[in-house]
Amino acid sequence: MVIVTGAAGFIGSCMVGKLNNKGYKDIVIVDDFSNPVKQVNIARKIYSGKVDRTRFFPWLAEHAGEVEFIFHIGARTNTTEFNMAVFDELNLNYSKQVWNACCEYGIPMIYASSAATYGDGSLGYDDMNDSLSNSLKPLNPYGISKNEFDIWALQQTKTPQRWYGLKFFNVFGPNEYHKGRMASVVFHAFNQADGRTGGQADGRTGGQADGRTGGKVRLFRSHSPAYRDGEQLRDFIYVKDVIDVLYFLMENKVQSGIYNLGTGKARTFLDLVNAVFSALNLPPTIEFIDTPADIRDKYQYFTEAKMGKLRAAGYTKPFYTLETAIAEYVQGYLVEGTCY
């Protein structure tokens, strides 16, 4: 039996789909299933059990002997939420309970960390130095909660038999319809380029969609002399690459620890938007707007994962290029509104 927490969400539901494609059917999905918009993500998935996150630990105490692996993907991911108590409950304390249960029952686990732990990137994006976590200064409570758990995990003398924390960079792909303004820039750019109603601005990702825009994509202009408008850089990674890596770590007994999960190649927002227009066979129309003053000093101009640690662990599969991934996502999912 394999457990996936956050199974109705974006990456979690894709992971369930990956496991199904690999022949796994004995999967227990864990989440808050009260959001009807997320039901489409699991509508066609095969699983053997469904457990509300508030009932997970009593359930696990009864079934621990059947569990082979836990993917702990569930988390509060809203970077505009500033109530630290919410993150303490869902991202920090809940994750500690998962960790301790895995220690007690001898279950290997993967948990979702985030590139948001790196803050403004001034200390780099290197996962080889575990002590770096103590010096990082994330820019919001979400990133703080993820970094605090990373630090806590690294301090533990009692650990699961195998454990992996994955610092996800800018993930995009199918099954993010429910995320609203927290959806990827690709999702919002598609909605704008296609003339659909999108979400709201997200200063941390650089994209904005605030209703029907008639085929025009809005991007935040640069307020740094080091970058031209639209040439801010991010490490964008397709969700299918993410779940491939998660599956690899489940199947291969590599060294436990914290690993970056990006492509290792930063691309500009202009690259991304042009790829969206190309996938729609439309000429690009882009408008630059000011980054809101209240988040301007927290804006990341560059992120790029150092991927040597994962490669050294034996992961050799190439990552999707940005253009190939966006074409598949737009044409294979977004145009028809389908899920993975």
- How far is 293 from 55, CA to CA, in rounded Å? 42
In the chain the domains, ranked by start, together with CATH numbers, are: 2-171+236-264+304-319 (3.40.50.720), 177-234+266-303+326-334 (3.90.25)
Give me 26's structure tokens. 């004995």
What is the model's pLDDT at position 61? 97
257, 131 Cβ separation under 8 angstroms: no
Q: What percent of the chain has pLDDT over 70?
A: 91
Q: What percent of the chain has pLDDT over 90?
A: 80
Q: What tens digit of pLDDT does each residue of 252-293 get?
A: 999 999 999 999 999 999 999 999 999 999 999 999 999 888
Active site residues: 142, 179
pTM (2 decimals)? 0.92
Q: What tens digit of pLDDT does each residue of 186-203 get?
A: 999 999 998 765 443 333
End-to-end CA distance of the chain: 22
> Cα-flanking dihedrals φ and ψ of residue 191, to 5°?
-60, -40
What is the model's pLDDT at position 102? 98
Torsion of CA 128, 307, 122, 205, to 10 degrees: -140
